[in-house]
Chain A
Amino acid sequence: MNCHERTATALNLGVPDRVPIFSCTEEQNQIYEILGNKDGALPLSMIREGVSGALFKLASPLINRMGWMTSETEKFMGKKLEADIALGYDCSWLMYSSIFNLRGNRQSTDIWGKLYDLVADPDGNVDTPMYRQGLLTTPELWEAWHHPDPDKFYKTIYRVFADLQKRYGDKIYLMGSLFSGLWESASQSMGLANFAVTLRRNPDFVRKMVKYYEKIYLATINATADAGMPAFVYSDDMGHKSGPQMPPRVLDEFFGPSLRRLCEEAHRRGIKIIVHSCGNVNLLLEMFADWGFDGVHSLEPTAGIDIADVKRRLGKRMCIFGNLDISHVLSEGTREEVESAVKAMLKDVALDGGFIMAMTNSHNAVKVGNTRWMIEYTHRYGNYPIKLA
């Protein structure tokens, strides 16, 4: 099987020739190390310090208008795929992340109205911006924000995805995606506490917000399908360390109908749709399947998710992606620890197919060497029929 057949078989809950391996890596330090060009990464000091830092501080609105952030992130998406292919991944989560604008030289905003701190990875390069707070703290501020037009958004995403699919789509199974799902966009653009108050006081406004984000996502899913990509990753962190961020019944009431429509649209267009959520989503997993998702990723072990239990509960309904630990095994673990974790995962979850090997998340502390071991041992032990004592 090639990477497309292998991944598609697993997503259809079948047994491929080998367990496919999924990349969720988004980190500059790792991607440029894999490509053998550490100098290719964008250092944060360029934005923050010296003459260039002063320029960014003074002229960030102009720099934004010139599309500098957009071109940098689009270039990076291609580099990410080159790195994924070089490492031997079968499939890749391709997040459309050209949604940030600089705000001076220390912060950025996104198109949804969220404020972030610019942060550095361990090598001093620009890392994924870290969410700080929502800017649209009231319905009035949300209404006044310049939200992207879904039709224009479709065209932007399509242009980028079609180009990447053309350049890399035959070498790796691409899963399009968009930064920040319906829940994250609605709750984080207001700030979680303000969102909680608004949900209580003005539920119709929350429905209106969700409906808008649904339109954006429908446009993105269609752009993904039109670009020729076979799958879409719906990324929305609905959990925190000990449980869902909001009551599951409320999530289902306010977000469920839209998420069902997203899944229906993906299926109507003939593409698979996978949900990614960080945190403890144990109470949401059946709902994910009910809404229509074909696969589920993250399943964070540090948030108390037992992937073997997830496989038992949902293995007949969704493809399970996961969930190698990044807090230790892939960031600090020895070769033996990685081997042991891969073998345990294969034994617990992969035996009857419907499984895709993945790290639980992207993080700058993950080591490229450990990632290579994850792939090496999945190649060694993940061939069907899997024979592990």
Chain B
Amino acid sequence: MNERDAVKSVLDTVVSLDIDAVAGQVSTALKAGADPRVVLNDGLSAGMRIVGDRFQSGEYFLTELLLAGEVMKAGLAPLEPLLAKTDVQGKGTVVLATVKGDIHDLGKSLVGMMLNASGFEVVDLGSDVPPQRIVDAVRAHKAGIVGLSMLLTPMVVSLRSTVEEITRAGLRDRVKVIIGGACTTPGLAKEMGCDGHGEDAMAAVYLCESFI
């Protein structure tokens, strides 16, 4: 198998969600002479994007998206020691958090998984996160994007105070702020002075990529 076909096989393995075959396919691609960065970008990540697109279009479901995340992890295991020796240029850093008062985690974690797979550095602060912690993380990680998640309308208060805290800290012109979650809409994003709204995990990825 030549290098190109081997990388394509890695991609196909991710798309077919074959968790037990992916590490072997990655090793085969490396043995065929593929650059580890090419295996990551054109194999694992490209496969993950196809899965994400299929999830967005309704062809794949949540369990399949999560399984793809596990396939990606399994495929990364043989790659990581090699990637550590290379200079991988990411797409930038995104700080993710569920706003103060809300501990729902799943949607935000999916966004983090897909952003990671798409080449972003993700700093996931978890749920119920106070505004100041988000500001601190933006500064510490030099993040260019903040993604805020929330489930219900009463959490709008927390969203507002988070955006205000980012502005007060003098960071608002340096970071894009995007929102997502059950009760969020493009209208709410506009009302809160945010830069965008992601309807689902892949939409959030495309939104972040539009800022690059």
**Hey, which bits of chain A sit against chain B, CB under 8 A?**
117, 119, 130, 132, 187, 192-193, 195-197, 199-201, 240-247, 250, 302-303, 326-328, 331-332, 363, 365
With a cutoff of 8 Å between Cβ atoms, the chain B residues found around residue A199 in the complex are 63, 67
Once A and B bind, how many residue pairs between them come within 8 Å at the CB atom? 76
The answer to whether the Cβ of B182 comes within 8 Å of any Cβ in the partner chain is yes
Bound Cα distance from A174 to B15, whole angstroms: 47
A243 touches B61 (CB 8 A): yes
B64-78 interface code vs A (CB 8 A; 1 in, 0 out): 101101100000000
Bound Cα distance from A327 to B154, whole angstroms: 7
B70 touches A328 (CB 8 A): no
A130 touches B103 (CB 8 A): yes
B152 touches A192 (CB 8 A): no
With a cutoff of 8 Å between Cβ atoms, the chain A residues found around residue B103 in the complex are 117, 119, 130
Sample of 11 A–B contacts (CB below 8 Å): A130-B103, A130-B104, A132-B105, A187-B63, A196-B63, A200-B19, A243-B62, A244-B61, A246-B61, A246-B63, A328-B153
**Hey, which bits of chain B sit against chain A, CB under 8 A?**
17, 19-20, 58, 60-64, 66-67, 69-70, 103-107, 152-154, 181-183, 199-200
Partner of A302, one of B104, B154, B182: B182
Partner of A332, one of B67, B107, B154: B154
With a cutoff of 8 Å between Cβ atoms, the chain A residues found around residue B199 in the complex are 242
Interface centre among B69, B70, B107, B152 (most CB of A within 10 A): B152
A192 touches B17 (CB 8 A): no
B63 touches A303 (CB 8 A): no
Question: A117-B103, A303-B182, A363-B152 known; A193 and B69 CB under 8 Å?
Answer: yes
What is the interface of chain B mostly: helix, strand, loop, or mixed? loop
- Name which residue of chain B comes closest to A241, CB basis: B182
Interface centre among A195, A245, A303 (most CB of B within 10 A): A245
B66 touches A327 (CB 8 A): no
A196 touches B66 (CB 8 A): yes
With a cutoff of 8 Å between Cβ atoms, the chain B residues found around residue A328 in the complex are 153, 183
With a cutoff of 8 Å between Cβ atoms, the chain A residues found around residue B152 in the complex are 326-327, 331, 363, 365
With a cutoff of 8 Å between Cβ atoms, the chain A residues found around residue B63 in the complex are 187, 192, 195-196, 199, 245-247, 250
Interface centre among A119, A193, A328 (most CB of B within 10 A): A193
Q: Chain B's nearest CB lies how many Å from the CB of A280?
A: 10
Q: Chain A's nearest CB lies how many Å from the CB of B178?
A: 16
- Name which residue of chain B comes closest to A122, CB basis: B154
Question: A119-B103, A192-B66 known; A201 and B20 CB under 8 Å?
Answer: yes
Q: Chain A's nearest CB lies how many Å from the CB of B192?
A: 15
- Name which residue of chain B comes closest to A120, CB basis: B101
- Name which residue of chain B comes closest to A332, CB basis: B153
A243 touches B67 (CB 8 A): no
Question: A193-B70, A327-B152, A365-B154 known; A200 and B183 CB under 8 Å?
Answer: no
Q: Chain B's nearest CB lies how many Å from the CB of A272?
A: 29
Q: Chain A's nearest CB lies how many Å from the CB of B97?
A: 16
